């Protein structure tokens, strides 16, 4: 179902039009096509484009008229990239100054061209002509400025340095926040022990503790120093934490492999062969740690190849192909009744 509000000039309230798509296979595709066409038409109208009116002035066909106008293609030279539009890039003085500061060779070319320009050309005309042939540089610089660094394995990047014949470790507020986001157990230890102990003292003890080695995936040995404050967090059940994360993740039952884990026959009979048993985290800590951390980092990245309007889990076509026909309700016969008179 797609609901559209149309308000013509001079009317006090908008009119509502509801479109129902009844195709059993391509209903969502048809709705998405109309929605995309309307979105492009609205953007074109806001940018100053002209959208043809509906034939005969009928409000009910306005949506289809907009869709047909957009499907014919945008105007020549028009760009719908928002902040990356050619006209906006060419008129953005702050962006141009930022690019000149970042690119010394381009700045040198600009100043040399400005010094040797004819007197008949004003500074405004010169600037417009100069940047008109360098739109691609402005667009690349704008994209670079709008990018932000993603999350990374912060514990692996923190390394001590030798200074004044002593090991010193520096950590920033950004790194502390990343540690809290990636390792909830560190946040819990921090909240339960600070300000009972000084914050600097907490971080000194943390980077010398067995908990730090466990979170990095390193093997804990008997020679490692113990810490009664932080060692108690070593016993946190990793499987419970993993189950808690899975509970917050929507997994369709039709593809949930662990859905019948409680009915696994091998739990009630003979134990599986040792090659089929999961290895202990104490034996391969680095693999478990890196896999868990990679899962956390990827969960914070928004996928760019999935339409957010699609159903969660699997798409309709895949679901229909996996659904068991025997569990579906029988479709009522849609027959045309013929009334015959003798």
- Please give the chain's pLDDT, 342 residues, in tens: 677 877 777 777 777 777 877 777 777 778 888 888 888 877 777 665 444 444 444 444 444 444 444 334 444 333 344 567 888 888 889 999 999 999 999 999 999 999 998 888 888 889 989 999 898 899 888 888 887 777 788 888 888 787 777 778 888 888 899 899 888 889 989 999 988 889 888 998 999 898 888 888 888 888 888 888 888 888 775 556 666 666 666 666 667 776 666 666 556 566 767 677 666 555 556 787 788 888 878 877 766 666 666 656 666 777 777 777 777 777 777 788 888 887
219 vs 136: CA distance, rounded Å: 51
How high is the pLDDT of residue 131? 92
The single-letter DSSP state of residue 228 is T
How high is the pLDDT of residue 63? 42
CA proximity to 138, closest of 81, 82, 183, 98: 98
CA proximity to 238, closest of 190, 192, 296, 156: 296
CA-based diameter of the chain, in Å? 113
| Parallel, antiparallel or unpaired: strands 166-168 and 2-6 | unpaired
Strand partners, 266: none
CA proximity to 106, closest of 121, 91, 96: 96
Instruction: For the beta carbon of residue 70, count every other beta carbon within 10 angstroms.
Output: 20
Structural element, H or E, at residue 167: strand 166-168
Instruction: For the beta carbon of residue 247, count every other beta carbon within 10 angstroms.
Output: 9
């Amino acid at each position: 179902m797609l609901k559209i509000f149309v308000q013509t000039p001079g009317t006090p309230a908008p009119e509502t039009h509801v479109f129902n798509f009844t195709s059993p296979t391509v209903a969502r595709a048809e709705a998405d096509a109309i929605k995309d066409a309307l979105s492009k038409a609205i953007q074109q109208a806001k940018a100053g484009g002209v959208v043809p009116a509906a034939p005969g002035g009928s409000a009910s066909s306005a949506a289809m008229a907009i869709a047909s106008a957009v499907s014919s293609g945008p105007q020549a030279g028009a760009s719908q990239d928002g902040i990356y539009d050619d006209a906006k890039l060419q008129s953005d003085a702050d962006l141009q100054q930022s690019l000149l500061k970042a690119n010394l060779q381009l700045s040198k070319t600009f100043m040399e061209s400005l010094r040797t320009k004819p007197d008949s050309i004003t500074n405004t005309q010169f600037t417009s002509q100069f940047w008109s042939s360098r739109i691609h540089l402005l667009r690349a610089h704008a994209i670079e400025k709008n990018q932000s660094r993603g999350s990374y394995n912060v514990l692996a990047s923190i390394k001590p340095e030798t200074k004044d014949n002593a090991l010193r470790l520096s950590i920033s507020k950004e790194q502390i926040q990343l540690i809290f986001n990636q390792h909830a157990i560190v946040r819990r230890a921090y909240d339960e022990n600070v300000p009972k102990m000084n914050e600097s003292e907490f971080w000194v003890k943390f980077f010398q503790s067995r908990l730090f080695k466990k979170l990095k995936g390193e093997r804990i040995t008997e020679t490692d120093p113990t810490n009664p404050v932080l060692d108690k967090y070593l016993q946190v059940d990793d499987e419970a934490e993993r189950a808690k994360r899975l509970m917050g993740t929507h997994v369709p039952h039709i593809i949930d492999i662990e859905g019948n884990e409680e009915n696994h026959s091998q739990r009630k009979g003979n134990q599986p062969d040792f090659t089929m048993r999961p290895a202990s985290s104490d034996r391969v800590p680095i693999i478990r740690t890196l896999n868990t951390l990679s899962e956390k980092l990827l969960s914070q990245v928004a996928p760019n190849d999935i339409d957010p309007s699609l159903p969660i889990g699997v798409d309709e076509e895949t679901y229909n192909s996996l659904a068991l026909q025997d569990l579906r309700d029988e479709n009522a016969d849609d027959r045309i009744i013929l009334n015959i008179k003798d």
